Amino acid sequence: MNPIPIIYQNQEIFIINKKAGMPVQGGEKIAHPLDEELAKQVGQKVYLVHRLDKDTSGLMIVAKSPQAANKWTKLIGSKEVKKEYIAICAGSLKEKKGEISEDIIQHGQTKRAVTHYQVEKEWTIEREEEAIPMCRIRLLLETGRMHQIRIHLAKQGCPIAGDDQHGNFKLNKVLRKAAGIKNLQLYSVKLVLPLNGKMETFINDGVLGAEPLGEGVANNEV
C-alpha cells in the first residue's frame, strides 16, 4: 500500500490527504483503515478528530494523542476549524450561492444541519437522447453531520455524481459511460485552522474532479 501523504504535522496533529476508497476507522471486515495504516506508517497510535466518508478523498486532521484529539474535536465543534469541499454534481441549483438548512435524522434523532454553497461552474454533457446538466460546487460546512453534503445536495435535486447511496443510481450508470465517472465526486479541498496564534490555510491543489469531468463531450459551459 502506498504511504498516506502527510501535508503537515506538529506535536499535536497530522494533516493528511486521504485517498478515495479508504475507510477511516477499523472494524470487523474492514481492510486497511486509515487509523491503522497511518499508525503503522508513523510508528505510533493515532486518534481520529473528524471523519471523511470512505469514498471521499482529501484533507483530514488526525491527532497524535487522546488529549490532542479532545482539543481538536472541540475546535471543530466550535467552528474555529473551517472545512471546504468540492462536489461535481448532476443537475443544477436555481440559486448559485446560498445556504442549505435542512435537518438530518441520525440514529433516530433529528440533527440541525447547515451547508453553505457556491456554484463555480456549469456545463452540459450531451448524449443522443438527452443533455445532462452538470456543475461544480464549492461547499463550506457549518455543521458536520454524517453524509451531510451528500444528503443536502440530493434533496435539492442536484446529487453528487457517483453517489449511489443518496444520489441517482440510474443516472450514475449513464455518467459512467458518458463521462468516465466511476467514483463519488466529493473532495475535501481546504482546511483553515488555528496554529501558532494565527489562522493557517491548507489547500489540496491536486484534487481529482476539481475540473469538470466529461468536458470532452460537453458544451454550453457557463
Active site residue 35: no
Cell numbers for 1: 500500500
User: Which pLDDT belongs to residue 217?
Assistant: 34
What distance in Å separates the CA atoms of residue 216 and residue 112, rounded to the nearest whole number?
Answer: 40
- Dump pLDDT digits (tens) for 78-108: 889 999 999 999 999 999 999 999 999 988 8
Q: Which residue in this structure is represented by grid cell 438548512?
A: 101
User: Which pLDDT belongs to residue 129?
Assistant: 76
What distance in Å separates the CA atoms of residue 48 and residue 40, rounded to the nearest whole number?
Answer: 15
Query: What SS3 class is residue 189?
Result: strand
User: Which pLDDT belongs to residue 144?
Assistant: 84
User: Which pLDDT belongs to residue 219?
Assistant: 35
User: Which of 88, 98, 80, 78 has the alpha carbon at shortest distance from 194?
Assistant: 80
Identify the active-site residue in 53, 55, 103, 205: 53
User: Which pLDDT belongs to residue 221?
Assistant: 37
User: Which pLDDT belongs to residue 211?
Assistant: 42
User: Which pLDDT belongs to residue 204?
Assistant: 87
Positions of the chain with pLDDT lower than 50, given as ranges? 208-222
User: Which pLDDT belongs to residue 207?
Assistant: 53
- The pTM score is 0.89
Report, in this order, helix, strand and coil percent for the chain, each rounded to 5.
Answer: 20, 35, 45
User: Which pLDDT belongs to residue 218?
Assistant: 36
